[in-house]
């Protein structure tokens, strides 16, 4: 199993540009999440999904959209990039024996100029 | 909303024991998780406590007291590779949403 994969690993955008961060998992997990992590801080939940076709907002959803057309894929779209969105983005899926363990992808380091 | 508090940094020597405390204020609570993150890496799962008491996994143990809204992660026989950030996270009652604390940076010195 590849686990949770994310592309790209690094990205530089100009203010106002849009882009999609890709996330995929091959563990057949229903629950997936997107987080952002700013330097020296914890992870903040952007959006999450409890299954294909169902998404909901987390703590910091403004400026981001998500969709979940399949169990495997959970892309995150930046609509109009702003410097405040410079961060590391992690995608995660939830599994484990009692669905208490989040498996994280390697992250995407995004810089918005 | 939820808030979690943990110390920002702890320094210890190899072989020592470190305890990282986490206090939380939540409207709902299902359980407390701990994650480890090395610099430049992704968080990895360490433990989950839903019930009061101590859970031991090798050199790491995690404790929860629901009545005190408090938990801790205990790192024993510290090794250099344990230098990392450690995050506590509360699982809300609804679904699998996690709210993370700000993290504790552990520096292990020779």
pLDDT tens digits along A44-59? 999 999 999 999 999 9
Cβ atoms of residues B36 and B20 within 8 Å: no
Cβ atoms of residues A49 and A32 within 8 Å: yes
pLDDT band, very low/low/confident/very high, at A39 (cuts 50, 70, 90): confident
Report the gap between the CA of A17 and the closest CA in chain B (Å): 26
pLDDT tens digits along A71-86? 999 999 999 999 999 9
B35 and A90: CB-CB below 8 Å?
no
Cβ atoms of residues A42 and B102 within 8 Å: yes
Above 80 in pLDDT, residue B94?
Answer: no
pLDDT band, very low/low/confident/very high, at B95 (cuts 50, 70, 90): low
B48 and A100: CB-CB below 8 Å?
yes
Q: Does B91 touch chain A (CB under 8 A)?
A: yes
A41 and B50: CB-CB below 8 Å?
no
Report the gap between the CA of B16 and the closest CA in chain A (Å): 25
Q: In the beta sheet, which residues pair with residue A23? A: A6
DSSP state of A5: E
Q: Does B7 touch chain A (CB under 8 A)?
A: no
A104 and B43: CB-CB below 8 Å?
yes
The structure tokens 């995929």 sit at: A24
pLDDT tens digits along B18-29? 999 999 998 888
pLDDT tens digits along A11-35? 999 999 999 999 999 999 999 999 9
Per-residue pLDDT at A2: 86
Above 80 in pLDDT, residue B1?
Answer: no
pLDDT tens digits along B67-85? 999 999 999 999 999 999 9
Above 90 in pLDDT, residue A1?
Answer: no
Q: C-alpha distances in angstroms, A53 versus A66, A70, A73?
A: 10, 8, 11
The structure tokens 């210890």 sit at: B12
Angle at B90 between CA A56 and CA B17, to 5 degrees: 145
pLDDT tens digits along B45-74? 999 999 999 999 899 999 999 999 999 999
């Amino acid at each position: 199993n590849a686990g949770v994969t994310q592309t790209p690993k690094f990205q530089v955008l100009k203010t106002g540009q849009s882009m999609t961060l890709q996330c995929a998992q091959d563990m057949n997990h229903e629950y997936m999440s997107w987080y952002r992590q700013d330097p020296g801080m914890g992870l903040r939940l952007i959006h999450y999904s409890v299954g294909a076709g169902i998404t909901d907002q987390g703590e910091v959803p403004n400026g981001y959209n998500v969709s979940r057309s399949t169990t495997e894929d959970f892309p995150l779209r930046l609509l109009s990039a702003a410097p405040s969105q410079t961060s590391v983005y992690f995608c995660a899926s939830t599994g484990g024996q009692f669905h208490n363990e989040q498996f994280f992808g390697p992250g995407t380091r995004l810089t918005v100029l | 909303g939820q808030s979690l508090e943990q110390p920002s940094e702890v320094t210890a020597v190899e072989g020592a024991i470190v305890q990282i405390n986490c206090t939380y204020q939540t409207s709902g609570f299902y359980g407390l998780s701990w994650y480890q993150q090395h610099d430049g890496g992704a968080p990895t799962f360490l433990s989950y406590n839903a019930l009061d008491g101590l859970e031991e996994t090798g050199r790491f143990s995690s404790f929860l007291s629901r009545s005190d809204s408090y938990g801790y992660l205990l790192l024993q026989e510290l090794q250099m590779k344990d230098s990392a950030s450690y995050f506590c996270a509360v699982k809300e009652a609804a679904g699998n949403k996690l709210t993370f604390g700000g993290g504790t940076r552990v520096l292990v010195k020779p």
